[in-house]
Amino acid sequence: MKYYLVIDEGTTSARAIAYDLKGQILAVTQHEFDQLYPKPLYVEQDLNVVLNATFKSINDLINKIGDDIISLGIANQRETTVVFNRKGKAIYNAISWQCRRTFKLCDDLKKQGYDKIIKNKTGLEIDPYFSATKIYWLLHNIPHALDEARKGNLLFGTIDTYLMYILSDGKIFKTDVTNASRTMIYNIYNHCWDDELLKIFDIPKTMLSEVCPSAHLFGYTSKMSIFKKEIPIFAVAGDQQSALFGHLLINKGETKITYGTGCFILTNLGEKPLEIEQNLITTLGVQYDDKYNYVSEGSVFFAGSLIKWLRDNLGLIKTAKESESCALKVENSLGVYIIPAFTGLGAPYWDSKAKGIICGLTNGVNKNHIVRAALEAICYQVKDVLDLLTKNNDFNITKISVDGGASSNDFMMQFQADILNLEINRPDNIERTSQGIFYLLALKNGYTINDLKKLNGQYSSFYPLMDDKCRIELLNGYKKAIKKALTEHEKI
Ligand code: ADP
């Protein structure tokens, strides 16, 4: 059976997904792995473990449905940083995107006033999240690394680059624009690694891979690889941008929200980037022709994880799914609001000292009201980010598509539509990250965007039903609750 193979390199698992020519998923295999937490703030991944999980998933898939693979594509966790030698041996574990070890370096850079130049070139806010300070840390903390790098013996890659290097026996040293745009050393306007930034971060240019469009012939797997034959690699993209394309949101103003552990909200800005409200980032979308596509990105830190907290820390529910039936047992949250500021408050409040609260408690409140308030809290946070996205910009959000594990909650999707006063569309197949890569592979195999539209599957729609008065009252209540969580009340 002929199929397209998508490898999804996640943060805690590697998956192999087979798509047939009509975009139907034939098989999925998955192996999970643990991240490493050697010290507070440090998050790493053992690359042997990551590669093993990847190879096992590929092997399982081939054992199930054979190896008649048309082409191969990769979706990957973004920003996670690997420094390796020319034999493909990493000098240290991968530093995860979640790792905060370089926060002090980032603070120093901000104090020295580098924010503006970095934002103007990369579209990003200075933050440990992005790869640049992780590379700096590796070069300055692993013995001899800086010397070796200066001699041209070390290479940098995000997970896509490293995996292609391994699968091709060192022949492919490339990445795509979506991954490059998350490194904080790639100029998203001039479309090149930026010499001035490389100087600031003291990173030799010889470490850097060739940046290619997301749909592109990156090269072939080696006969010595797990595949034992040459298979063309035709698509690479970071997971969030891949999911945006996986909904075929290719026009300005089209937006997707992924509801997972956190929420990732991406809006297509079209071919011309805009001055974006501070604290939101501009990044590159997948590139499948000669045009560049800009995307605005905002995130909510605690979404599905808030539901997990209700389950694991408070014991209010046994499964995340049960949150929906609890919420539906009550008519409203009875004035209860939860502000999940477990690690401070993000956009648009930016108060790192804010503490989480549950407020509005009266003796009529039972656990269902609290569970409902938690689901509503996720929706309010999404609204805050979307408001920021549309503020001062020349587009309206026209279409919201959703995916991710928590988007299966119908109550939450309806409340989200009500609070945003916008239609929400959820595909029957919420697996959109790998779908984006499948679309890129199909484009390289002669399909047109119109062909892909026919493969996009069914969506269910949630229409806003709440009246304006009710929406405004709820939002006012939320604003008051936010005020209570902020360390300085006058911030809002
Ligand atoms: P990630 O990719 O970030 O690991 P997933 O997309 O797998 O996340 O979604 C899992 C998250 O969604 C978990 O945090 C879980 O608590 C939450 N979740 C899963 N199902 C539901 C549901 N029906 N209602 C609310 N939250 C849910």
Q: Residue 357 falls within a domain, yes or no?
A: no
- CB 368, CB 327: distance < 8 Å: yes
CA of 12, closest atom in ligand 1: 4
Rounded to 5 degrees, what angle do the CA atoms 237, 176, 7 make? 35
CA of 307, closest atom in ligand 1: 16
**Using CA atoms, how far apart are residues 238 and 78, in angstroms rounded to an integer?**
5
State residue 305's pLDDT score. Answer: 87
Q: Residue 267 falls within a domain, yes or no?
A: no
The tens digit of pLDDT for each residue in 170-216 reads 999 999 999 999 999 999 999 999 999 999 999 999 999 999 999 99
CATH number for the domain that contains residue 56: 3.30.420.40
**CA torsion angle 467 265 281 238 (round to 10):** -170
State residue 402's pLDDT score. Answer: 97
- CB 150, CB 257: distance < 8 Å: no
Residue nearest to atom 17 of ligand 1 (CA): 304
Q: Residue 399 falls within a domain, yes or no?
A: no
- CB 94, CB 80: distance < 8 Å: yes
CA of 308, closest atom in ligand 1: 16
Q: Residue 432 falls within a domain, yes or no?
A: no
Tokens 């928590």 -> residue: 406
pTM for this model (two decimals): 0.91
**Using CA atoms, how far apart are residues 114 and 79, in angstroms rounded to an integer?**
20
With bands split at pLDDT 50, 70 and 90, how would you rate the model's confidence at 275? low
**Using CA atoms, how far apart are residues 16 and 472, in angstroms rounded to an integer?**
45
Task: Give me the percent of the chain exceeding a pLDDT of 70.
Answer: 97
Domain that holds residue 113: 3-240
Could you give the C-alpha distances from 184 to 1, 201, 406, in angstroms and in order?
42, 10, 30
With bands split at pLDDT 50, 70 and 90, how would you rate the model's confidence at 279? low
Centre of ligand 1 from the C-alpha of residue 381, in Å:
16
Domain tally, the chain: 1
With bands split at pLDDT 50, 70 and 90, how would you rate the model's confidence at 243? very high
Centre of ligand 1 from the C-alpha of residue 432, in Å:
15
Centre of ligand 1 from the C-alpha of residue 307, in Å:
8
Rounded to 10 deg, the angle between the 468-485 and 367-390 helix axes is: 90
- CB 378, CB 300: distance < 8 Å: yes
The mean pLDDT of the chain is 92
CA of 408, closest atom in ligand 1: 23
- CB 455, CB 313: distance < 8 Å: no
**Using CA atoms, how far apart are residues 321 and 476, in angstroms rounded to an integer?**
28
Query: Which whole number is the average pLDDT over 476-480?
Result: 96
Q: Is the pLDDT of residue 490 over 60?
A: no
Q: Residue 270 falls within a domain, yes or no?
A: no
- Its sign, for the CA torsion 67, 73, 78, 79, is positive
State residue 276's pLDDT score. Answer: 59
Centre of ligand 1 from the C-alpha of residue 303, in Å:
8
Name the residue among 152, 31, 125 with its Cα closest to residue 347.
125
320 lines ligand 1 (CB under 6 A): yes
Site to substitute for ligand 1 among 28, 313, 342, 409, most atoms within 8 A of C-beta: 409
The tens digit of pLDDT for each residue in 251-274 reads 988 999 999 888 999 999 888 776
Residue nearest to atom 13 of ligand 1 (CA): 304
321 lines ligand 1 (CB under 6 A): yes
Q: Residue 482 falls within a domain, yes or no?
A: no
Tokens 């199929």 -> residue: 3
DSSP codes, 136-204:
HHHHHHSTTHHHHHHTT-EEEE-HHHHHHHHHTTT---EEEHHHHTTSSSEETTTTEE-HHHHHHHT--
Provide the strand spans (E) within 47-146.
69-76, 82-85, 94-95
Q: Residue 435 falls within a domain, yes or no?
A: no
State in Å, rounded, how far the first CA of the chain is from the last one: 59
DSSP codes, 378-408:
HHHHHHHHHHHHHTT-S----EEEEESGGGG
Could you give the C-alpha distances from 265 to 211, 240, 278, 348, 403, in angstroms and in order?
25, 9, 16, 14, 11
Which tokens hold the place of 453?
């539209």
Q: Is the pLDDT of residue 353 over 80?
A: no
Centre of ligand 1 from the C-alpha of residue 410, in Å:
13
* Residue 460, φ and ψ in degrees, nearest 5: -100, 145
CA of 10, closest atom in ligand 1: 2
Residue nearest to atom 8 of ligand 1 (CA): 260
Name the residue among 304, 309, 464, 476 with its Cα closest to residue 378.
304
Centre of ligand 1 from the C-alpha of residue 299, in Å:
15
CA of 403, closest atom in ligand 1: 6
Centre of ligand 1 from the C-alpha of residue 260, in Å:
5
Q: Residue 258 falls within a domain, yes or no?
A: no
